[in-house]
Amino acid sequence: MICKVGINGFGTIGKRVADAVQAQKDMVLTGVTKTKPDYGAVMAINKNYPLFSATQDHYEKLNNSDLEVQGDINNLIDISDVIIDCSPSGFGIKNKKKYKNKDVKAIYQGGEPSDIADTSFNSTANFEESLGKDSTRVVSCNTTALCRTLYPIHSQFNLKKVRATMIRRGADPNQDSRGPIDSIIPKMEVPSHHGPDLQTIIPDIDIDTTAVKVPTTIMHMHLINFELNKETSPDQIINLLEDSPRVALIDDKLGINSTSQIIEIARDLYRPRNDIWETPVWRESIKKSGDEFYLFQAVHQESDVVPENIDAIRALMEMEKSGEKSIKITDGSMGLLDKLYEL
């Protein structure tokens, strides 16, 4: 079957998901929405993506510009099997009624509350839970990265407890009005929301997380320590992650010792928008001290959830019954790598 996919919101995530949908042989993009005739709307038109207004109220503003507008969000819903809601955080819950009233399946993003959808979604950890459901929520960029590394470790070696600190970028590159600037801001919510969000995917995991914001735009960093219920060596963890989907071990010995070096690899790979869809993990960081393991990983907040959105479509529409199969199709179409340093 060919699934008809509409995207409500053509911003940081929406424009990337639109490109990923276009790369799939079993999907077709029915359109994207915008609220105003800005450069993003022009880009959609230039890519031959059908353009719709995000609300009925915004239709006139778009239609009175020189851009060709196909209709509003209701028209897009009418021609779609699935709507991926990539609107700003908090708007998904407002849009939910539109989707339910028109009986269209919906995929929400991690900025929405977990109870917005029938399930929370991660391709590696719980693909099958979303099969045939009416809606799902692809968890946040940070939670997606935690799922990719901690789920295989938990499945194989039985995690006893996890403690992790999220070192978060202050803003995306295009968010020039945000910060911090020359400052580090601790998140006073302790533990932070990232642990409970992970538990919507892996309910039996014992995890506490904390978070700080730092003045950078390109990536997040996770500092993770964990204990296991099984006797395990760092080499066993390394070997497991080498075989885990969407985890890319990177090597400090090759000069990949910072998030900026990872982005440089994306440039050298001619990745669109310098995207890193994988979760990079420093091989040298996987060490053991007493009973505790340590692991450092990076998160490209603009793009790591994109392949998960594609797999979520296949799960809701039951186009594939196996997460492993869908991951293989998505990763092949988008060009994900097992090792980022193999240029």
Q: Which residues are catalytic?
A: 141
Token pair in block for residue 84: 């991926």
Number of separate helices (H) and strands (E) present in the chain: 12, 16
Residue type at 122? Answer: N
Token pair in block for residue 71: 């209709």
CA distance 86 to 8: 6
Mapped onto helix, strand or coil, the DSSP state of residue 296 is: strand
CA quadruple 114, 115, 116, 119: dihedral sign: positive
Alpha helices for 128-212 (secondary structure H) = 141-157, 194-199
Reference 121, options 132, 105, 110; nearest CA is 110
CA distance 105 to 100: 8
| φ/ψ of residue 64, rounded to 5 | -80, -5
